[in-house]
Amino acid sequence: MSLRIRPDLDDLPVYVPGKTFPGAVKLASNEVTDGPLPSVIDAITAAAAGANRYPDNGMVELTASLAKRLGVTEDEIQVGCGSVILCQNLILITSGRGDEVVFGWRSFETYPLATRVAGATPVQVPLTGDLTHDLRAMAAAVTDRTRLIFVCNPNNPTGTVVEAADLHEFLTRVPSDVIVALDEAYFEYQRLPAPQAYDALQLRREFPNLVILRTFSKAYGLAGLRIGYAVADPEIITALGKVHVPFSVSSVAQAAAVASLDAGDELLARTDAVVAERARVTERLRAAGYRVPDSQANFVWLDLGASSMDFARACVDAGVVVRPFAGDGVRVTVTNSDEDDAFLRFAESWDGSRG
Ligand code: PMP
């Protein structure tokens, strides 16, 4: 068949999530293992009973709740069905054919894919040798055609972070009319000491071109409901509102997010256990000879290069699903000691090259 489908999509890969199977330990998608709290289940059940009605397209209750918690105004928030759609919508409001979107590489796979879908050109700036964003090179990559920059922090899949002073300097170098999206999907797992840590909400006051992206999928444990949000200048939020697909955030997701914010302290306290596991897993992997950068997220990166696919295949055979990136490395979610031990047993006994 020859149909009038855009030919520039021909060589675009389809996103393939890690395959899983019954009984597998699933460490491929950076999910948490705990299900929603009882109060969140109650909110979900109540919202489900009204599923004959369309959801609140203005997402009023959730927006008000987020504004209060974050100390921003409601016109500085846009909710979307997952922060992935907000990445895509930021590209849509800024970039089309001939425009450039700059981001570090390797990073979140949506950036190049969604840029290509919009017909724009991805500009991938290699990470530094220690697998962090090369912010100077990223600033230097900005041209007249640049419309948007993604800084994924902590970076998926390496778990590495940029430091406050470097981020500040970067923002002063970027032209003030270029939007910088700071993708903080894993923000709640960061434990940086004071001089290195930055406060994105504060930075945004100084740099109105900064957009913060966060999600309920990770620390808040609502990956299956698809809900995330952007915090930005009202001018950017208004534009995001224009490309928002009406009613795309379900009433169940909105209710669950409100209830999760209400239980925020309890949910965020759970991240401490993951942070402790992250230190344990990193140490054990390093002791076993793997190169593992310091991670500030709920996953670790094994810098396995050419062995990545072999390692991941053997790991799946051992019942643990991890996420390989061909020729580059393997990302492994950190969850609880039982699941992490299942992975460590495999990793410590693997007799292939450790990079
Ligand atoms: N940004 C990054 C860096 C991610 O890793 C993810 C999820 N893998 C997302 C955004 C999207 O998360 P969600 O759509 O579930 O909110």
pLDDT single digits (tens) 216-242:
999 999 999 999 999 999 999 999 999
- Write the pLDDT tens digit of every residue in 298-311: 999 999 999 999 99
Note the pLDDT of residue 18: 73
Give pLDDT, residue 169.
Answer: 98
Domain ranges of the chain: 7-35+264-349, 38-262
Pick from 16, 31, 84 the residue to mutate for probing ligand 1's pocket: most ligand atoms within 8 Å of its CB.
Answer: 84
CA terminus-to-terminus distance, the chain = 45
Domains 7-35+264-349 and 38-262 equal at CATH topology level:
no
The rounded Å distance from CA 247 to ligand 1 centre is 20
Which of the listed residues 31, 78, 88, 108 should we mutate to test ligand 1's pocket, taking the one with most ligand atoms within 8 A of CB?
108
Q: What percent of the chain has pLDDT over 70?
A: 100
For the domain 38-262, what is the CATH code? 3.40.640.10
This prediction has a pTM of 0.97
Strand 323-325 with 329-333, pairing: antiparallel
| Lowest-confidence segment of 6-20, 205-219, 239-253 by average pLDDT | 6-20
Q: Residue 159 C-alpha to ligand 1 middle, in angstroms?
A: 13
Any ligand 1 atom below 6 A from CB of 90? no
Q: Which atom of ligand 1 is nearest to the CA of 215?
A: 16
Instruction: Convert 238-260 to b/e letters by CB count within 10 Å (16 or more is b).
Output: ebbeeebeeeebbbbbbbbbbbb
Could you please report the per-residue DSSP string of 61-109?
A: HHHHHHHHHHT--GGGEEEESSHHHHHHHHHHHH--TT-EEEEEES--T
Q: Which CATH class is domain 7-35+264-349?
A: alpha beta
Residue 152 CA: nearest ligand 1 atom is 3
